[in-house]
Structure 1
Amino acid sequence: MNIKQIIIFLIFTTSLVSEDQFNTRFNYFGNLSASKLSSSGFYLNNYSHDSVSSDLSLTPYSKAGAQISINNNNFTFTAQGLIRKENDNYKVELTWLNLKYDIDDNFAIRGGRIQTKMLLHSESLDIDYLQLWAKPPVEVYNLMPIRTYDGIELIYDKTFNDYTLSISAVGLASFSDNINGSIEEVVIDVDDSHSFALELSSDMFKYKASYTKSKVNIEDDATTKTIVNGLSAYGNDMDRFTYENRTISVYSLGFQFRNNDFTLDSEIAYSQTNSLLASSIGAYMMVGYKINDFTPYIMYAENQNDKSHYDTSSIKTSDATSKALKRKLDDLLYLGNFSQSTASLGVRYDIKIGMALKMQIDRMSSTNYGSISSSTVQSVGYEKFGVISRESGTEDKDIYAFNVSFCFAY
C-alpha cells in the first residue's frame, strides 16, 4: 500500500470517527522479544523478519501494532497495522483493512485486506499475548503461502445449543510482498487464491479444517534458470524445478481443547506443490497447565518434505555439461530442504490482564536428503538453507534457540 492510499485511508477513518452514530473501538498490542541460538554458524529464518543467530537480538520477533474498528448498524470497518525492524530498517505492514457487511444474523460478506483463516491461530498470530507459546511452530505455520490477502470473503455463523459453526469461503484473492530469500530479498506474487475454512467450537473445544489453493510466482534466479534451461535442452522435463507460476494447495486440520487450567493444541497441515519447493507435511502438539499465574507447556513439532522430490535419477545426462548441471540441481534441492523437528519447553507468566512474560527453549534438528558438492558450498558460503541455515564449515548438529518476551494487548 502506497503513501497516497494510506492518506486516503486516514482521512476516511477520521471522518468516520467524528460521526456520533459510529461506535469506535481502538486496541493496541506489542511484543518485546530477545532471542538467540546456542551455536554460531547457524541462522533461524522466518523470511518475513530478521533471522535469529548466536548473537542476542531484539529484532526478529519484536513488534508493535494497533487496530481500529468502526461499527454502524450492519457495517464494520477494521484496520490493523504492524511495525517491526527488519535489516536495520523499520517495516510497516497493514494486516487488516476491510469492510464487513452483516447480511442477516448468519451471513456476512467482507472485502479488502484480510488475514487468512487457514490455521487455528492464523487470524491472531501477530497478537502474541493471545498465544500461549513464545513463538509459533514454523514446521506448520511456515506452510502458509500467504498470511494476508486482498479479496472477498463470504462468512456463515450459526449457533446451536452450546456450539458455534463458522464457515468461510474466499475466491480470487491476491497478495504481493517482499520476503527475505536465502541470499537476497525476493518478490512473491499470489493470485487467484481460493480457500474454504470450517470451524466448530464450544467453550472447551474447537475443531478446524481448511483448504487453500493459490497460484504463486517467485522469479527464478539466474542459477536456477541456467540449470532448468540447460537440462531441458537435453530432452528432460524440468517443469517442476521452478518457482515461477506454480500452484500450491494447503490442507489443514486443527484441534483445540481448553478445560479450566488445561490446554491442548494440535494441528496438521499438508502443502502440495509442483515447484522446486517440495511438497511437505507438518504437525505439532502443545500441552500446557496453568498453576496460579504460571502456565508451563511443552510442544513438539515436525515437518517432512516429500523425499521423492529429491530423486533426480530420471534426468538424462549424456555428457560432462549435463552431468554438471544435474549436480547443481541436486545441490539446489539439498540446500532448500527444510525438513526438521523441534522440541520446545516454555512457561508463560500472566502479570495481569493484558500483560504477560514468556520464555521458550527449542531444540531443533534438521533432516538432510542427498548431498552437496564442495564447489557449491564454496560459492554460496552455506551448506544448508531452509528454516535452519548452516554456514560452510559448521558442524551439522542439533541446536538450541532461546526466547524471552514481554507481550501486551489492550
Structure 2
Amino acid sequence: MSLMRQLRRKAATILLALAVAPAHAETDAPASPPRFELSGFGTLGAVTTDDKDVWFTRYGVNFPGTKDPDFSPDTLVGVQGSLRLTPYNDITLQGLVREDGDASQDPQLTLAFFRQTLAPGLSMRLGRVRVPFFMLSDSLYVNYANPWVRPPVEVYGLNPFNDLDGIDFIYNGRLGAFDIEIHPYYGGGRIPFPQGKARLKEVFGVNLGLSRGDFSLHLGHGEGTFTLERGDTLFLAVSNILQLTGQGGVIADLSGTHGRTRFDSVGVQWDDGSWQLIGEFARRKTNRYVVSAHGWYLSLGRRFGPVMPYVVVAHQTLDEQFAEARLPPGRLAAAWNLFQVSRNNAQRSVTLGARWELAAYAAVKAEVTQARPDDDAWGSYAPRGDAQTTRIGGRTLNTFSLSLDLSF
C-alpha cells in the first residue's frame, strides 16, 4: 500500500471519529425525530445562432447540437432530498437529468454526502459535493438562482468539473464587521467526454468568502492532477501525423494521465435590491492536455418591479498552448492547426438580456449575445458541417437564448 493511500485511510478514520463525537457529546440537546425534505429544480432552455453553419456549445457540459433551436446546452431537471438524522447531521442526495458532454441523457447523481456538525459554525461533508471552483458553483444547476440564462461561458467554461468525490469543511464565523466563510476541500471528479475520458484527481483547494450587507467577496484556489484521454477522430489523425513526422513524443502533451493543473478565482457581488453588480475573474494553468487561459466578466442589472434588464461584458484569453509541433506547410500543418484551434475557447462577448420574475419559484430569461472568437479559436461554438472548411475564429456571431427556470 502506498504512503499516500495509508495517509488517506488514517485521515478518513480520524474524520469519521470526529463525525461521531458531537452526536454523543451534546447530551443535553433535545432529541428530534428524523425529518425528510424534498425539493426540485429545472430549466427549459433554447439557443440559436444567426449563422447556420455553427452551433453554440458549452464545452465539457453538453454535446454540440443536432437541432435548431438547440435545447441541450441549458435544459435540465433535478430533484434533491435531505434526511436530517439528528440536529447535528444529515444526508443529502441530488439527481439530475441533462445532456452531458458525451451526448448521453442518463440520470446523474450530482450530490451524495453525509454532513456532520463538528462545532458551532463548523461542519464536515463526506461524499459527493459541489466543487467550489467559482463564486456561483453552488447554483450552477439551480439556474433560477442566477440572473442570466447561463453563467458567462468565458469564465465558467474554464473548468467544466462541478462535482467532487471527497471531503470538505465549511466554517462560518465573524471577522470584525464581516461574515466570513472558510471552505477547504479535497477529492476528485470526472465528466463524460466525447470519445475519451476526463478525470480530476487529488485536488486540494480552499475558498474564502467575506460578506457585509449588500457586498460579498469570493477568493478561491485549487490544484491537483488530471487525466484527459482523447479518442476523437481529429486527435487520432494528428497522432498519426506526429508519428509519421518523427514527433511522436508530442502526443504525450495531447492526451494522457499525468496532467497537473491549478485554478484561481476572484469574485465580487453587490446587490441593494434595485441594482445588481457581479464580477468574476478566473485563471486555469496546466502543464499539458488543455490550454492555459484566463477569463473575466462584469454584469450590471437594474430591477423594475418583476423585470430586471442586464448587460454582461466578458472575455476569455489564451495564455499558453499545451503542445508545440513543427510541420511543413500544407495539409499536415493544416490538420495540426485545426486541432489546436478547436481546443481554444478564447473569445469576447457582449450580452443584453432581461429576467422576468413570474412567481417566487419561476423566471423567464431572454438574452442576445454578440461574440467574437479569437482568430485562432472556436470560442463557445462548433462547426455544423466540415470542420476543415468552416471558419469560426475572427467572425462576429449573434446568439439568442431563452429559458424558463423553476425551483420548487
TM-score by length of 2: 0.82
1:352 and 2:359 matched:
yes
1:331 CA drift (Å)? 3.5
1:399 CA drift (Å)? 1.2
1:209 alignment partner AA? L
Given the alignment, which residue of 180, 189, 203 partners 2:213?
Answer: 203
1:151 and 2:170 matched:
no
Task: Tell me if the contact between 1:304 and 1:339 (Cα under 8 Å) persists in the aligned partners.
Answer: yes
Q: Percent identity?
A: 20
Task: Tell me: CA distance 1:56–1:334, structure 2 relative to 1, closer, same or farther (3 Å).
Answer: closer
Residue equivalent to 1:76: 90
1:332 and 2:345 matched:
no
2:40 alignment partner AA? Y
Cα distance per residue 1:282-326 (max 9 Å; x no partner): 0001000100110000001110112x53894xx567xx7x99766
Cα distance per residue 1:54-112 (max 9 Å; x no partner): 71133331111111122222102111111124688532111111011110112221110
1:266 CA drift (Å)? 0.3
Task: Tell me: CA distance 1:106–1:238, structure 2 relative to 1, closer, same or farther (3 Å).
Answer: same
Residue equivalent to 2:24: none
Matches within 5 A, 1:106-145: 106-145=121-160
SS at match of 2:106: strand
Residue equivalent to 2:203: 193
1:35 and 2:47 matched:
yes
1:278 alignment partner AA? V
CA distance in 2, matches of 1:237, 1:304: 24
1:100 and 2:115 matched:
yes
1:259 and 2:269 matched:
no
Given the alignment, which residue of 260, 264, 269 partners 2:282?
Answer: 269
Task: Tell me if the contact between 2:287 and 2:322 (Cα under 8 Å) persists in the aligned partners.
Answer: no
CA distance in 1, matches of 2:248, 2:98: 47
Residue equivalent to 1:176: 190
1:22 alignment partner AA? P
Cα distance per residue 1:145-199 (max 9 Å; x no partner): 511010011222113565221111112x1222312x3xxx322122111111111
1:352 CA drift (Å)? 1.5
Residue equivalent to 1:409: 407
Task: Tell me if the contact between 1:78 and 1:99 (Cα under 8 Å) persists in the aligned partners.
Answer: yes
Task: Tell me: CA distance 1:53–1:38, structure 2 relative to 1, closer, same or farther (3 Å).
Answer: farther
Task: Tell me: CA distance 1:227–1:270, structure 2 relative to 1, closer, same or farther (3 Å).
Answer: farther
2:38 alignment partner AA? F
Residue equivalent to 2:23: none
CA distance in 1, matches of 2:44, 2:249: 51
2:158 alignment partner AA? L
SS at match of 1:218: strand
Residue equivalent to 1:15: none
Residue equivalent to 1:309: 321
1:270 CA drift (Å)? 0.5
Task: Tell me: CA distance 1:224–1:73, structure 2 relative to 1, closer, same or farther (3 Å).
Answer: farther
CA distance in 2, matches of 1:237, 1:395: 26
2:207 alignment partner AA? A
CA distance in 1, matches of 2:209, 2:399: 33
CA distance in 2, matches of 1:338, 1:85: 20
Any gaps of 5 or more consecutive residues in structure 1? 1-18, 370-383
CA RMSD in angstroms comes to 2.7
CA distance in 1, matches of 2:313, 2:120: 40
SS at match of 2:321: helix
CA distance in 1, matches of 2:249, 2:105: 45
Task: Tell me: CA distance 1:281–1:59, structure 2 relative to 1, closer, same or farther (3 Å).
Answer: closer
CA distance in 2, matches of 1:155, 1:303: 31
Greater displacement, 257-266 / 45-54: 45-54
Residue equivalent to 2:6: none
1:388 and 2:401 matched:
no
CA distance in 1, matches of 2:99, 2:326: 47
CA distance in 2, matches of 1:323, 1:214: 38
1:339 alignment partner AA? A
Given the alignment, which residue of 234, 237, 255 partners 1:223?
Answer: 237
Q: Aligned pair count?
A: 366
Task: Tell me if the contact between 2:48 and 2:399 (Cα under 8 Å) persists in the aligned partners.
Answer: yes
TM-score by length of 1: 0.81
